[in-house]
């Protein structure tokens, strides 16, 4: 083979490899826009909820590419290639799977994004089912179980995998698997009793289940008694806020959210005089701002929170002032959206 021919072949291989790498990088950046790189996709003119809906719609609009990239992420080998350990950190960070921490993050994020795609991610269902045999990461197993339920938990293989996870020693994994089973067969009374029992036994399972149950809206109404029990038993305020929103989403009842907002306002009014817990004012203020974001669709909650946010906005403290400005700006956005749609409470 002549030298000229060797050079030509080498150039073709080099150009082909470069094109392949650049295309893979382009696809990953495209998917990252709707999954992890919120700065690129966040529209400051829209409310928090509208941006979350936009994120899901954006991911669905590139479903074929998203499924391809997320499937790779889900199947990243946790073992580091020998050559990867010799790379400088600045370069390894740009190559998925070359660092165990980066690979673990991508593996754990993939099921959540696949769940957002729902049935559009059906081609990845066999990979999700295979992941249920991975005993090393309970958190990943819980996310995988939820993804199976959203993507296509009605197949015989998926049902078998979820039944196996339902018997898992970790209660959160078991609860997520039981919910995924019930989601695929909501008329199954036994499956409903199974998830209800797990929520009643361990209310902290709502940490992972709050989002998926909210997404089902009124279709998840049969779970309302179990969610209400968790709301009454939970002491952690962030969890209670999320559970109150779940109750509103699945039953239309705003009273748990309204009661929680009034309680937080009373707590904040009394926090300033708390000489023992000096962190109380800042903590309660943060909880009020979280509540204003989570409950922004509920008119009664906005009405109760507005005077507090106005008080924050006129504060001399920079953090309080920015918190008030942010909350009031979100209220203005959501009210503008509701006015455009001509509806009081979007469902």
Give 223-235 pLDDT, tens digit per residue.
999 999 999 999 8
Q: What is the DSSP string of 101-147?
A: HHHHHHHHHHHHHHHHHGGGGGGGHHHHHHHTT--S-HHHHHHHHHH
The pLDDT of residue 347 is 39
Give 287-337 pLDDT, tens digit per residue.
999 999 999 999 999 999 999 999 989 888 888 899 899 999 999 999 998
The pLDDT of residue 317 is 82
- Measure the CA–CA gap between 289 and 295, rounded to whole angstroms: 10
Predicted confidence band of residue 40 (pLDDT cuts 50, 70, 90): confident
Q: Is the pTM of this model over 0.75?
A: yes
Residues 54, 41 contacting (CB under 8 angstroms):
yes
Please check the confidence at residue 164 and state whether its pLDDT lies above 80.
Answer: yes
Average pLDDT over the chain reads: 84
The pLDDT of residue 276 is 52
Burial state string for 219-237 with b = 16 or more CB within 10 A and e = fewer than 16: ebeebbebbbbbbebbeeb
- Measure the CA–CA gap between 141 and 131, rounded to whole angstroms: 7
Give 191-215 pLDDT, tens digit per residue.
899 899 999 988 888 999 999 999 9
DSSP 186: T
Please check the confidence at residue 80 and state whether its pLDDT lies above 60.
Answer: no
Average pLDDT over residues 130-156: 89
Predicted confidence band of residue 135 (pLDDT cuts 50, 70, 90): confident
- Measure the CA–CA gap between 317 and 163, rounded to whole angstroms: 53
The pLDDT of residue 11 is 66
The pLDDT of residue 108 is 85
Which one has a higher pLDDT value, 57 or 84? 57
Which one has a higher pLDDT value, 6 or 95? 6
Residue with tokens 């800042």: 282
- Measure the CA–CA gap between 52 and 42, rounded to whole angstroms: 9
Domain ranges of the chain: 52-77+96-185
């Amino acid at each position: 083979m002549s030298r000229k021919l060797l050079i030509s072949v080498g150039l073709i291989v080099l150009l082909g490899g470069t094109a392949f790498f650049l295309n893979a990088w382009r696809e990953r950046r495209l998917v990252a826009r709707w999954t992890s790189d919120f700065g690129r996709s966040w529209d400051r003119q829209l409310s928090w909820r509208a941006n979350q809906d936009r994120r899901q719609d954006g991911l669905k609009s590139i479903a074929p590419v998203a499924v391809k990239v997320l499937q790779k992420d889900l199947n990243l080998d946790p073992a580091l290639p020998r050559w990867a350990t010799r790379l400088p950190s600045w370069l390894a960070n740009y190559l998925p799977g070359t660092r165990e921490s980066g690979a673990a993050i991508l593996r754990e994020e993939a099921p959540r994004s696949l769940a957002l795609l729902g049935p559009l991610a059906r081609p990845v269902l066999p990979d999700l089912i295979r992941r249920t045999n991975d005993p090393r990461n309970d958190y990943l197993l819980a996310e995988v179980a939820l993804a199976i339920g959203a993507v296509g938990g009605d197949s015989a293989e998926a049902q078998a995998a979820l039944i196996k996870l339902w018997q898992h020693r970790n209660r959160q994994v078991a609860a997520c698997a039981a919910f995924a089973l019930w989601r695929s067969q909501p008329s199954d009374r036994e499956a409903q009793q199974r998830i209800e029992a797990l929520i009643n036994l361990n209310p902290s399972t709502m940490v992972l289940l709050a989002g998926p149950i909210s997404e089902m809206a009124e279709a998840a109404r049969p779970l309302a008694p179990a969610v209400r029990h968790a709301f009454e038993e939970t002491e952690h305020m962030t969890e209670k806020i999320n559970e109150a929103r779940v109750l509103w989403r699945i039953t239309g009842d705003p009273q748990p959210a309204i009661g929680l907002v009034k309680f937080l306002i009373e707590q904040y009014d009394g926090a300033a005089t708390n000489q023992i817990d000096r962190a109380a004012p800042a903590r309660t203020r943060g909880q009020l701002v979280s509540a204003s974001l989570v409950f922004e669709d509920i008119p009664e909650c906005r009405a109760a929170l507005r005077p507090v946010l106005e008080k924050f906005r006129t504060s001399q403290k920079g953090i309080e002032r920015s918190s008030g400005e942010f909350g009031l700006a979100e209220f203005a956005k959501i009210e503008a959206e509701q006015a455009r749609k001509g509806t009081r409470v979007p469902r």
